[in-house]
Amino acid sequence: MNGADTTSMQISLNRILTIFKRDFQDAVRDARILLMILIPFGIGVFYSFAFDDDTTTPTATVVYFSAGATTLPETMSRIAGGTVDLTVREVADANTVRQQIDDGDADLGLIVPAGFDAAVASNASPALDVLMTDSQDLGANYLAATVQPALREMAGQPEPARVSFETVGGEAETLVIDRLGIREYFVFAAILVQIAMIALLAMPSVLAVEREQRTLDALVMIASNREVIIAKACWGLVYIAGSVAILVLVADLIPVEPLPFIAGIGLLSLALVGFGLLLGRTMSANQLNSWGGVLLLPVIAPAFIIGTPAPDWLTAAANLTPTAMGARLAINGLAGETLFASAWLSVLGLLIWTVAGFGLLTWRMNRREA
């Protein structure tokens, strides 16, 4: 940026919009740029359809026949809580219970004799038939384990001990992949790759080619360097926003809390766009083609270190990167709960990275022009 550009501070929205529109249209005609955008999109769509275990909460269906009124299924359901996604069906007779278990239509069957609840309450030890399939389904096994506690509760027997569970050792002891589910996790991974590829490969390539082919010189005959950079940044951000939005919709990756998700993705994109423009001003198009893919690895990797049982030093280092900061915010939004604490630190960190990226870019341009 030359001295006059810096002092005059005259920014023309018309010129920014004109450059932005040209870049936007030109990228559609550039097969290389299109591939950089479409590959991660394709991967995300593939993950979305390849994995359907959107959640790790096991499911189970209970079918029961009771000769009289019983609260057993309801008690079991209460004890299971949110740990099992439970469906309870009452049928007309015991044979139907057996048939549905045999057909695999239900995971657990209960045949409850008449007067069962009263017999349990009087500690008469009534008979109870529990039918299960021979599969090792997690939900069915967990549900079977709730039968005895339910019966103790119905018998009015106190619990042997009051057990309280507490999570210690900080945040995200549960693996993020377990919390989000494989499908969400990998689609989210594809989104991060998509952001990184647009910000750190596609956009720098466009800028580097303009620099090398000297079309940039033609632009700055009327536009300022500042206007060119703003237009390129807008191009990158709009492409990121558009492609992420499409992938989110196609993959049905709707965040429970949109605000932290959008903040994480948006601030991460802004920070990476700054560094992408710096790459575009610094490296040649050939260097970007050769080394761009390698550069992506250390940028993307930290997002997949956090929320895993990695060594503390590695997690601490990863947490300093913009990708991890953006991922922490976005994952919180996806999960709808605070899996990663201190969101404000992530926001602050991302803002610092953004200022650093654009600051280095300005310094580089000043140094080059002067």
Partner 1 sequence: MTQRGEPMIVVERLEKHYGPTRAVDGVSFSVAAGEVFGLLGHNGAGKTTTIRMLTGRTRPSAGRARIAGHDIVSDLHAIKPIINLVFEDQNLYERLSGRENLHFFCDLYAVPRVRAAELLDIVGLTEAAGRKVKTYSTGMKQRLLIARSLVNQPRLLFLDEPTRGLDPVSARDIREIVRQLSAAGTTVFLTTHYMDEADELCQRVAFLSQGKIVALDAPRELKLRYGQRSSTVLLDDRVEHTVDLHDPIAATHLQEWMQAGRVLTIHSHEGTLEDVFIALAGRPL
Q: Counting contacts by CB under 8 A, is residue 168 touching partner 1?
A: no
**Is residue 19 at the binding interface for partner 1, with CB under 8 A as the rule?**
yes
Contact 229, 361 (CB under 8 A): yes
Residue 188: half-sphere exposure toward Cβ, Cα within 13 Å: 31
Q: How far apart are CA 39 and CA 190, in angstroms?
A: 9
Q: How many residues does the chain have?
A: 370
Q: Does 2 bind partner 1 (CB under 8 A)?
A: yes
Quick one: which of 97, 201, 219, 265 contacts partner 1 (CB under 8 A)?
219
Binding residue for partner 1 (CB under 8 A) from 121, 218, 259, 348?
A: 218
Q: Of 28 and 348, which has the nearer Cβ to partner 1? A: 28
Which residue of 163, 221, 294, 297 would you call a contact of partner 1, by CB under 8 A?
A: 221
35 binds partner 1 (CB under 8 A): no
* Among positions 13, 20, 24, 29, the unique one binding partner 1 when judged by CB under 8 A: 29
Residue 37 or 60 having the CB closest to partner 1: 37
CB-CB neighbours of 34 under 10 Å: 13
CB 2, min distance to partner 1, A: 5
**Site for partner 1 (CB under 8 A): which residue of 119, 128, 132, 220?**
220
Distance of alpha carbon 115 from alpha carbon 280, whole angstroms: 79
Stretch that binds partner 1, among 19-27, 105-113, 160-168, 184-192 (CB under 8 A): 19-27
Contacts of 282 (CB under 8 A, 6+ apart): 364
Which is it for the CA torsion 201, 203, 208, 213, positive or negative?
positive
Q: Applying CB under 8 A, which part among 12-20, 48-56, 234-242, 297-305 lies near partner 1?
A: 12-20
Q: What letter does residue 57 receive in the DSSP assignment? A: -
Stretch that binds partner 1, among 103-111, 208-216, 243-251, 284-292 (CB under 8 A): 208-216
Stretch that binds partner 1, among 13-21, 161-169, 312-320, 337-345 (CB under 8 A): 13-21
At closest approach, how far in Å is the CB of 32 from partner 1? 12
Q: Are 229 and 277 in contact (CB under 8 A)?
A: yes
| Number of residues lying near partner 1 (CB under 8 A) | 27
The CA angle 80-82-83, to the nearest 5 degrees, is 65
- The minimum distance between CB 311 and partner 1, in angstroms, equals 46
Q: Is 329 in the site for partner 1 (CB under 8 A)?
A: no
Q: What is the C-alpha to C-alpha distance for residues 345 and 304, in angstroms, rounded to an integer?
A: 19
Residue type, 103: D
Q: Say whether 154 sits in a helix, a strand or coil.
A: helix
The three-state secondary structure class of 87 is strand
CB 355 within 8 A of CB 348: no
Cα gap 86→147, rounded to integer Å: 14
Based on the shown chain and the rule CB under 8 A, indicate whether residue 54 belongs to the binding site for partner 1: no
Considering only residues 350 to 369 of the shown chain, the ones binding partner 1 according to CB under 8 A are 369
Minimum CB–partner distance for residue 18 and partner 1 (Å): 4
Q: What distance lies between CA 119 and its chain's CA centroid? A: 50
CA distance 296 to 288: 11
Nearest to 120 by CA among 155, 68, 148: 155
Question: Residue 142 has which token pair?
Answer: 């967990």
Would you say 363 and 340 are in contact if contact means Cβ atoms under 8 Å apart? no
Residue 370 near partner 1 by CB under 8 A:
yes
The least CB distance from residue 229 to partner 1, in Å, is: 15
Binding part of the chain for partner 1, among 24-32, 42-50, 118-126, 314-322 by CB under 8 A, reads 24-32
Binding partner 1 (rule: CB under 8 A), the pick from 24, 30, 152, 314 is 30
Span from 157-165, 180-188, 219-227, 331-339 in contact with partner 1 (CB under 8 A): 219-227
One-letter identity of residue 316: A
List residues binding partner 1 (CB under 8 A): 2-5, 7-8, 10, 14-15, 18-19, 22, 26, 29-30, 213-215, 217-223, 369-370
